[in-house]
Amino acid sequence: MPFTTPHQIEQHIARTMAFYHPRCIDPQAGFYHYLTDDGYLYNRHHRHLVSSAGYVIIYARSAMHTGAPEALKWARHGLKFIEDRHYQTLTQGFAWTLDHGKAEDTNHHCYGLAWVMLAYAMALKAGVSEARTGLDRVRALMDRRFFESHTQLYAAEADANWHLTGYRGQSVNQRSCEALIAAFDATGEAAFLDRALGIARTLWRRLAPMGDGWLWENYDRDWHIDFDYRRDRPDDLFRPWGFQIGHQTGWVRLLLRLHHHRPDEAWLLPTARRLFTEAVEKGWDDKYGGLICGADFNRLPLNRDKVYWVQAESLAAAAMLGDLTGEARYWRWYDKIANYCWQHMIDHEHGGWYRILTPDNRRYSREKSPAPKTDCHNLCACYDILPIMQRQHGEREAVSSL
């Protein structure tokens, strides 16, 4: 069975990192963002803020895991690129995309800032002490430009002059919640955790009832579900129409992390348990295996493609629930998802995970890691699963020695 022993997970982490390192490194300017299945670099000049932050995160996590100074060196290298190239002194924001070093998109995206905050937090926790300055700076920028105190949520987008657009989205708040939890873990400052918990409370206790217990993706300025927004684009990369299975299970992970820090919040664990069961049962493809990407309001399949991060988020959520509750049903789901990933999603020849597969598990193209994919989701899932398996393996060995 795959992903069941610490050794298997360690090997998989190493093999995935070996696909990227060192070929992803641009010695002059951060990291390359466009790799085919076999690692061929097919675009040297385009950069995406999510990928730039994602590479910092995977090198920071690698440094925490291995203790290797070289990994910290490349995390610093990535932060320098974000600060020198993505940061725009004229607007005092971070460019969403760059082409040949110049900003392409003049709008400001809070989702990108949340990834930058997460990158700073992970780098700080890994030992990059100077990352604290950047962490505080980007948090202040998000608060000043995007946080709306009357909702306790972040707006999603502003134009070039920092005027907010009318779009509101759950995914930017999900990523912000994750970044804030990571910032708390790195600094111990309760304000980060309090903000993360406030986001979770607002979304899951006030907004989720509008989706019958799940979170819809797209909302209007007043946080009413916008059923017309991108109705014809259920496969949109950042703002798809419908419920996203991976976002529901991704929230399971965040709710459990909040529960770890704030067990007095009695609603967190029951919500996570209910949400996981509902999402994987509605999202599982009984014919071809794997979790589909999207569902409509009635929880019927909408986007049947199989996307790497959906599987990774759900795999980690299953392990966390299984470990916390001791219930076999979560471990059955863990095995089911792990087997699917091992059979279809993982490239056993070259390393790394395929980005997207057809409903019947065929590759659409040879593009394994076009921006914004860096395998950050699946590597971080493995890093979160590893200590669980190490602990369980130790307990089994202790029992067998009696």
Angle, CA of 58, 61 and 66, to the nearest 5°: 120
Smallest CA-to-CA distance from 77 within 55, 44, 62 is with: 55
Name the helix (H) or strand (E) containing 347.
none
Instruction: For the chain, give percent helix, strand, coil, nearest 5.
Output: 55, 10, 35
How many Å is the Cα radius of gyration of the chain? 20
Task: Characterize 141-176 residue by residue with b for buried, 16 or more Cβ atoms within 10 angstroms of its Cβ, and e for exposed.
Answer: bbeebbbeeebbbbbbbbeeeeebeebbbbbbbbbb
- Report cis status (omega within 30 of 0) of the bond before 234: no
pLDDT in 10s for each residue of the chain, 402 residues: 899 999 999 999 999 999 999 999 999 999 999 999 999 999 999 999 999 999 999 999 999 999 999 999 999 999 999 999 999 999 999 999 999 999 999 899 999 999 999 999 999 999 999 999 999 999 999 999 999 999 999 999 999 999 999 999 999 999 999 999 999 999 999 999 999 999 999 999 999 999 999 999 999 999 999 999 999 999 998 999 999 999 999 999 999 999 999 999 999 999 999 999 999 999 999 999 999 999 999 999 999 999 999 999 999 999 999 999 999 999 999 999 999 999 999 999 999 999 999 999 999 999 999 999 999 999 999 999 999 999 987 777 666 666
Q: Which residues contact 9 (CB under 8 A, 6 or more apart)?
A: 3, 382, 385, 386, 389
Question: Which of left, alpha, beta for 103 (phi over 0: left; psi -120 to 50: alpha)?
Answer: beta
pLDDT tens figures, 184-214 = 999 999 999 999 999 999 999 999 999 999 9
Q: pLDDT tens digits for 262-299? A: 999 999 999 999 999 999 999 999 999 999 999 999 99
Counting residues of the chain whose pLDDT is more than 70, the rounded percentage is: 99
CA separation, residue 1 to residues 7, 8, 9, 14, 338 (Å): 12, 10, 11, 19, 8
Question: Looking at the DSSP assignment, which residues form a beta bridge with residue 225?
Answer: 219
Instruction: Supply the residues annotated as catalytic.
Output: 247, 377
Q: Which domains does the chain have, with CATH numbers?
A: 6-389 (1.50.10.10)
What's the CA gap between 342 and 317, in Å, rounded? 17
Q: Per the confidence metrics, is the pTM higher than 0.85?
A: yes
